[in-house]
Amino acid sequence: MLYKTTKEHEAFRKKVRAFAEEKVKPIAFQLDQNNEFPDEIVKEMGELGIMGIPYEEKYNGAGLDAISYAIAVEELSRVDGGVGVILSAHTSLGTWPIAAFGTEKQKQKYLTKLCTGEYIGAFGLTEENAGSDAGGTETTAVLQGDHYILNGKKIFITNAPKADTYVVFAVTSPGIGTHGISAFIVERGWEGFSFSDHYDKLGIRSSSTAELHFSNVKIPKENLLGKEGQGFKIAMATLDGGRIGIASQALGIAQGAYESALDYAKQREQFGLPIAHLQANTFKLADMATQLRAARLMVYSAADLKTHHESYSMEAAMAKQYASDMALKVTNDALQLYGGSGYIKGIDVERFYRDAKITTIYEGTNEIMRVVVGAHTVGKAPKVQYQKGKSKGPIAGNRKKEIFKEGSLEDQVNALVEALKKDGYDFTVGIDKDTPISEAERVVSAGRGIGDKENMKLIEDLAYQAGAAVGSSRPVAETLKYVPLNRYVGMSGQTFKGNLYIAVGISGAGQHLKGIKDAATIVAINNDENAAIFKNCDYGIVGDALEVLPLLIEALDNGEEKKPAPPMVKMKRSKPRKMAPTSDLYVCQGCGYEYDPKQGDEEGGIEPGTSFKKLPDEWICPKCGEDKESFVKVDFPDDRKL
């Protein structure tokens, strides 16, 4: 075990520090304020030879050890935590799984370019229902001939949409938990692969973070990474190394904050002497230095174990947890030493303070780090019996999902209006378009699919004819600024609790759906039939908003001015119609689940149309895991059979 880095390590540190000081530091504040990814800097990082530090030279890597990699992330983060994580996510998440599990062909095709920085790498694991519980992955990849067809969504993905390659995890064998997950190399630009806007974050704002959307993306079979079913282990092993990267990032951020505060405390005078000599502050600075040293030793020792192919999963988790908790404390103390001046934008400790927070969250929260460490010390907790990877159902609840597809677009629009009138909506009355979202009985909301700002006129016209207020998705208010911020609907914005919600050109991000889950009726109009909003709606039309809206406006127009709407009466949410079964009904005695032969059991690999009797003996209840024997046949009156 080493207690001191080598001369080579320190020479390498000097090189990266010089680059960070000369190139990154002068623009760090601007990148932070503009939420801007430093394309030029990343290109130069490739030229400097730091985009493939721990990889073999034959693949264009630098052939250095994991400590050198930790030093590079640390030094970049010492001036800008965002630039630090660009390197970390690229190296340990986007590149490592290919280096460790890729075939020679995959390494030649991808690793050689990732190591030079010609390609940027990223890692797609996290989903709305699979964060800390990474095994809950719902994205699917189905083998069809020579391709896997990928569908689903990943959130919080570092380096998206800038990265060229994404190591993506998807379920290839449903119903068998983590053993049914596989890893794939997915290229940016493949048909059906799109991105959300990059998030507006608290810190590390020079790094880009966005969602990955997959709609029938065709992945060539040869892009399967490792073997089918190995995905979860690949993800876990990758994260072990990733955590060394995040620990280094936390260390660098804290180091930058410490140096800045030490400098300031030596210059700033109060009570007739530099505040560094006031003992309360001397002790604070002494503690900061001690904690930094402890964290550094932990990070480098985990990296050293990795280099020497010794087990390092626990040590990496310990280092990540300790270094990130330390970074929160040290950046907080640094800001405290600056006093009021540290609270002002432009002072680096203000940025370091914000940048530090994410290190206790991503690549495994510090709670998960303790789970990992605990598994090595106390031992693994016994497994809780629950269905892993079982979809929790649509976020906005189980709705009718009646998508009008028959006839012309005009016929579809008329069918929609008919259905709404049948549900009791009176379109001779209306409310002011500026009614607060939380008080509105009806809202017509625009998403990015509305296109140019001038198309908002269609939204306003539709809102008038539907008797509704105007709302929007978050990007339309926040990024495009088409409407004021108080008009955006979602968990983080305004919650809609009224009756009718018409979502136009909204894809259905989780936080948006959570904000409309209490609506009595949700109508979706979107040109992407795979958009999540369609799984969360009562009625829908698949089509271009610019074509559907004029027809809908006309269909709702009764030629008269709208009368003021009476006070809102909350309507009951209509439930999807439950069809009477055509065959005998079998019910699980464990949980009451009714097996529906029409639907089969996708997760259990049972085709729709399979009768209960034809289910294999090993089939189990998808809800509670009881075996087939526990099901009882329920007599069903003939008059209720279809």
- For ligand CAA, the binding residues (CB under 6 A) are 89, 93, 123, 125-126, 132-135, 156, 158, 178, 232-233, 236-237, 239-240, 313, 362-364, 368, 371-372
The DSSP output letter for 23 is: I
Nearest distance from residue 187's CB to ligand CAA, in Å? 19
Strand 500-504 relative to strand 521-526, pairing:
parallel
Mind spelling out the 3-state secondary structure of 30-65?
A: HHHHHCCCCHHHHHHHHHHCCCCCCCCHHHCCCCCC
Distance, in Å, from the CA atom of 436 to the CA atom of 443, rounded to the nearest integer, reads: 10
Indicate if 406 belongs to the active site. Answer: no
Of residues 187, 363, 402, 561, which has the active-site annotation?
363
Q: Which is nearer to ligand CAA, 350 or 363 (CB)?
A: 363
Token pair, residue 192, equals 């059906």
Q: For residue 28, give the H/E element and its range.
A: helix 25-34
Q: Which is nearer to ligand CAA, 5 or 387 (CB)?
A: 387
Q: Which is nearer to ligand CAA, 158 or 521 (CB)?
A: 158
The DSSP output letter for 619 is: -
Identify which of 293, 291, 317, 292 has the alpha carbon closest to the alpha carbon of residue 305.
Answer: 317
* Phi, psi (rounded to 5 degrees) for 542: -90, 115
Distance, in Å, from the CA atom of 465 to the CA atom of 487, rounded to the nearest integer, reads: 19
Q: Which is nearer to ligand CAA, 142 or 237 (CB)?
A: 237
Q: Which is nearer to ligand CAA, 303 or 531 (CB)?
A: 303
Burial class (CB in 10 A: 0-12, 13-18, 19+), 371: middle
**Under 8 Å CB-to-CB from 422, ≥6 apart: which residues?**
none
Nearest distance from residue 150's CB to ligand CAA, in Å? 18
Q: Which is nearer to ligand CAA, 69 or 156 (CB)?
A: 156
Nearest distance from residue 321's CB to ligand CAA, in Å? 12
Nearest distance from residue 166's CB to ligand CAA, in Å? 12
Greatest alpha-carbon pair distance for the chain in Å reads 96
Nearest distance from residue 218's CB to ligand CAA, in Å? 25
The DSSP output letter for 161 is: T
**What is the signed CA dihedral for 177, 183, 187, 193, rounded to 10 degrees?**
-10
Nearest distance from residue 164's CB to ligand CAA, in Å? 17
- Please, which residues bridge with residue 586 across strands? 595, 633
Cite the active site residues: 363
